[in-house]
Amino acid sequence: MNGSLTPVACAAAFLVSAATAVPLKRLALRWGLTDRPGGHKAHVRPTPYLGGMPIALATVTVTVAAGGLADLRITAILLAAAAVAVLGFIDDIAALPALTRLVVETVAAVGVVLAGVQLTVTGGWADAPLTVVWLVVMTNSCNLLDNMDGALGAVSAVSAAFLAVVAFLQGQTHVGVFLLALAGAALGFLTQNWPPAKMFMGDTGSLFIGFGLTCSAIVLAGGRGPDTAAAGLLLPAFVAVVDTGVVVLSRLRAGRSPMAGGTDHVSHRLRLLGLNTRGVAMTLALAAGLAGALWTAATVGMVPALAAALLAAGTAALAIALFQRVPVYVPRRSLENPPRIRERRR
């Protein structure tokens, strides 16, 4: 693949995503595919979904045009991520049972494993099922992270960009181009999703992003030992891991179902601590950037992979514990001047 195509891939994906988002936004409004205000939701008018379609379309078309199909793993990732995006699109229109979602996501994960996208943690047969489980868990963790304007779009753009750097450092150009296309597509979507959002990505986008990013991280961390695998899996997904950990732990402590929706995510807690919506998105993106920089440093040997993994795990555990101190389950009227936050049932 011509190296001069790599910066073009990001710019092209940005333009395709930004350009297609506008007509799709109008189409969503015409079809009634909107998130309607009510309850604790802060937006005051119906906001269209379908924002995930420009992300998926831009990423796939640019990657294919740049020759990404020459790599069997990228071909499998694109096909499986597209299937997961279709699943998300159907779920955006009419909510699917959780079991149906899990089955489709598992089949997609098995498909990429068979194509060579696999962890190398144990060095044995257990690596395949571990890969499938990690893929399904992190895909849904990214889905959960899509709970506030600009949050997942900003985090995914930053994470994909750092993963692309690692891919090029490893000489995995096709993976790098796919990641640059994904980063550009996420940035293009942010032209419609930056607070106050005029469009939401829905499950179509969040599942596509989660699956694509997780597959890429697995490819880049595979075959390099358990310490590198741990760092390579945890650091690119750092924000999603912390958010999922915070939500699950707090709901269990409160006697709530971990599967229930609510405004108890990291983004909502940052709002309660005084940040506005844009500040939340930028804070989460900064955290993703620091984690990505650490993973890049470990890749070039500036930091031992084991030390990077331990630092990430310790920081994640500390953040999960500290965020438990934010009182998200007390009645709103008991909070002094509580900020309005948009509730997404994640």
What are the DSSP E strand ranges found in the chain?
34-35, 47-48
The pTM score is 0.92
SS3 (DSSP) at 41: coil
pLDDT for 339: 46
Nearest to 183 by CA among 204, 143, 212, 222: 212
Give the pLDDT score at 37. Answer: 55
Helix/strand/coil percent split, the chain, to 5: 70, 0, 30
| Every domain of the chain and the residues it spans | 5-334
pLDDT of residue 331: 59
Look at residue 260 in the predicted model and tell me its pLDDT: 79
Please report the pLDDT score of residue 203 as a whole number.
Answer: 94
* Residue 47 three-state SS: strand
Q: What pLDDT shows up at residue 343?
A: 47
Per-block mean pLDDT, blocks of 10 residues, the chain (346 long) = 67 96 91 67 67 96 92 97 96 90 97 94 88 96 94 97 95 95 97 94 96 97 84 95 96 88 92 96 98 95 94 97 91 48 49
What pLDDT is stored for residue 5 in this prediction? 58
In this structure, is the dihedral angle defined by the CA atoms of residues 39, 197, 148 and 105, taken in order, positive or negative?
Answer: positive
DSSP string, 81-93: HHHHHHHHHHHHH
C-beta separation of 237 from 312 below 8 A? no
